[in-house]
Amino acid sequence: GFLLDQAGNDTYNAGSGGTNGGGDGGVGFLLDQAGNDTYTAGSSSTNGGGYRGVGLLLDAAGTDQYEDPEVPGGSCQDCSLVPKGTLGAQVDSDDLPDPSAADCVPHPPIRITENQGLNGFILGLEPATGEPIYRPGSGVTAGEGTQEDPYVIEGWCIAAGSSGIGISGTSAHVVIQDNVITGHDLGVELDGAENVTIHNNAITDNGDGVVLSGSSDYVVENNAITDNSYGVRLSESSDNAVQDNTITDNGDDGVRLSDSSDNAVQDNTITNNGLDGLVLSDSGDNAVQDNTITHNGLDGLVLSGSSDNAVRHNTITNNDDGVRLSDSSDSNVVENNTLTDNGDGVRLSESSDNAVQDNTIADNYDDGVDMFGSGDNAVRDNTITNNEDTGLYAVNLDEPVDATDNWWGHETGPSGGEEDCTTGETADGQGDTITTSNAEVCFAPWRTSPNPDAGAG
């Protein structure tokens, strides 16, 4: 609308007409490296135009004065302008969600593509004090972008749009917390961003809840992520943590990692999602631990083409299969989990060199452990009891299964009449059944009492 660039000692009187920037991102009145100027609004407001517009922008300005005789305190109508050093954005109230259900302030969708600048967290620093000048529309309410004092985006009800909060290509430290994000294609989207914490938000009724791509060093914690398509999706992302979230009632998968490594998914409640609870696809060296994964439409935990992952101390119940490893998911550890009331407790298909150990695998309505076309896997030191079809079902295996030191539910050992691959001993006990087809199982010796260290406890 009006620009003073490296100017000084000027007077601008808007009279009755005001000044408007026009268009998305417009600036009504901009003082850039100007000093000793006086702006008088007159009887009308100064607006930035559309989405992300700015009423009055003071960028590296000096001892300038803003006066509006009609509005006490020197602010303006239809924009959130405050005195020198902070900025205000025009907000279209028709685009905002109803804030009555939450203690938050309406805000349009947030887009940040750089640390500092017209699309950044801040526009720059105050020359006199070095304090950050928060960009209007960024949603930043506090902080300096450091690890010790991160930027804070807090307390907003984010209006419907393509993404509620979208951050890409940034490295500044930022915490997104205590927001209500609903009705978007993507609730929170991070693309090539680093050092972001998403904490204690309600992320509901979006296309996808949280989507992170090519991102690292972020934490997604203590959020309610419900009634979206996917709850949380990570792709090509590493060194991140998804923890202590409630991820429920999403239409597709609760959590999905694709081509991602060195992430921790821990202490989450992942329930009642339409497809799988948690999926690792072509992902390695991740830790999945201490989660409760129950009552999902398909499987609890799926590893597809994913190797060298650790699955520990999870409670996985009432899913199609509890844990499924397929498509060359090799060298994984499935340890100290409770896997009950699923179809199969653990299912391995075309996957090798995995260790299934110290788990409680009980009361599943198909097989405790189902293995097909998989070689050189170990199923040891587990409690395998009261599974409806078989305790262990092994088909078309190139290598014998090491199934020693398991508790089969009775001191006499497993049943089913199979011969041990090493000793030739017959499985003629009263415990769960072992069944094979074109496969060998080594089951002796077995435990004569339950393994006290088995399960997620």
> For residue 176, which phi and psi values (nearest 5 degrees)?
-105, 110
pLDDT tier, 43 (very low <50, low <70, confident <90, very high otherwise): very low
Query: Which whole number is the average pLDDT over 94-99?
Result: 38
Kindly list the strands in the beta sheet with 38-40, ordered across the sheet, starting from the edge strand earlier in the chain.
11-13, 38-40, 65-67
Kindly report, residue by residue over 222-276, the tens digit of the pLDDT: 999 999 999 999 999 999 999 999 999 999 999 999 999 999 999 999 999 999 9
Q: Tell me the Cα Rg of the chain.
A: 29
- The bridge status of strand 120-125 relative to strand 132-134 is antiparallel
Segment 121-145 mean pLDDT: 96
Which residues, 6 or more positions from 251, have their beta carbon under 8 angstroms from its beta carbon?
227, 228, 229, 273, 274, 275
The pLDDT of residue 100 is above 80: no
For 126-162, strand residue ranges (E) read 132-134, 140-142, 151-154, 156-158
Identify the CATH number of the domain defined by range 93-272: 2.160.20
Domain locations in the chain as residue ranges: 1-90, 93-272, 299-457
**Residues 182, 252: Cα–Cα separation, whole Å:** 17
pTM, to two decimals: 0.79
Q: Up-side HSE of residue 445: CA atoms within 13 Å toward CB? A: 4
DSSP states along 157-224: EEPSSSEEEEEES--S-EEEES-EEESSSEEEEEES-BSEEEES-EEESSSEEEEEES-BS-EEES-E
Neighbouring C-alpha atoms within 13 Å toward the C-beta of 217: 10
Is the pLDDT at 358 greater than 90, yes or no?
yes
